[in-house]
């Protein structure tokens, strides 16, 4: 019987609002694979920290919160402490807090094995910022999605408006640029394209076209000797 270590992984990394979550879910559905939204884990930690008024600079306490996090992720749905917090995780305050705590080594370390536990047969599609570089370095296919900051800000704006949340385009654009700089400069698991990852610019490209490209790349990767 195949075990978790035998399950193939497709790692899809990229900056905020690059489309990696949407693409990863569609690819997972097409292949019948499991799906890991790693960002949701960090957001869940951030929400728990904010609700408990934890100092976001207190790395040890945040690591304890991470280790004891009662969170369940099923696709896009996130249950925290028995309640559905899916929509709450998309609030800008949670996004900003998640970006800050994601730079903390103890928090990242606390989440590492939890993320790897999602690797189960028949396979996994994982999206995040260090899926290919740190969490699943042996992924059979590594994708790095990107798009212009302006397009990514527009996507985030539409997403928030559809959820009935207030949003400001200029503020979102500034936040995305600051988050890119912060994620790329952090000392632990910085946002970067792996040397063996395929770069896909999604600016102006329909989601369906990107999904088809990833599926074709996966088919080719599986056929490679």
Report all structural domains of the chain as residue ranges with CATH numbers, in order of start: 4-223 (3.40.50.300)
Alpha helices in 75-192 (DSSP H): 92-101, 105-116, 149-162, 169-185
Structure tokens at 184: 């790329």
Tens-level pLDDT at each residue, the chain (225 residues) = 445 667 999 999 999 889 999 999 999 999 999 999 999 999 999 999 999 999 999 999 999 999 999 998 877 789 998 999 998 998 889 988 998 898 899 999 999 999 999 999 999 999 999 999 999 999 999 999 999 999 999 998 888 888 787 888 999 999 899 888 888 888 778 888 999 999 999 999 999 999 999 999 999 998 876
Structure tokens at 208: 């369906």
* End-to-end Cα separation, the chain, in angstroms: 23
This prediction has a pTM of 0.89
* Positions of E strands within 18-154: 34-37, 71-74, 77-80, 83-84, 124-128, 141-146
């Amino acid at each position: 019987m195949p075990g978790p270590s035998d399950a193939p992984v497709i790692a899809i990394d990229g900056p905020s609002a690059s489309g990696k979550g949407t693409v990863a879910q569609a690819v997972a559905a097409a292949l019948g694979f499991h799906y890991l939204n790693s960002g949701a884990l960090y957001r869940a930690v951030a929400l728990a920290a904010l609700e408990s008024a934890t100092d976001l600079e207190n790395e040890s306490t945040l690591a304890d919160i991470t280790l004891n996090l009662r969170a369940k992720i099923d696709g896009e749905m996130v249950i925290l402490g028995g309640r559905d917090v899916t929509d709450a995780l998309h609030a800008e305050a949670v996004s900003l807090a998640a970006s800050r705590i994601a730079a903390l080594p103890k928090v990242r370390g606390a989440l590492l094995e939890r993320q790897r536990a999602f690797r189960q047969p028949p396979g996994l599609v994982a999206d995040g910022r260090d899926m290919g570089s740190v969490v699943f370095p042996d992924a059979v296919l590594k994708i790095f999605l990107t798009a212009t900051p302006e397009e990514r800000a527009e996507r985030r704006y539409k997403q928030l408006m559809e959820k009935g949340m207030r949003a400001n385009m200029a503020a979102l654009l500034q936040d995305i640029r600051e988050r890119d700089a912060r994620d790329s400069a952090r000392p632990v698991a910085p946002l970067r394209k792996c040397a063996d990852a395929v770069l896909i610019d999604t600016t102006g490209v329909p989601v369906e076209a990107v999904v088809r490209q990833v599926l074709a790349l996966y088919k080719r990767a599986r056929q490679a000797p």
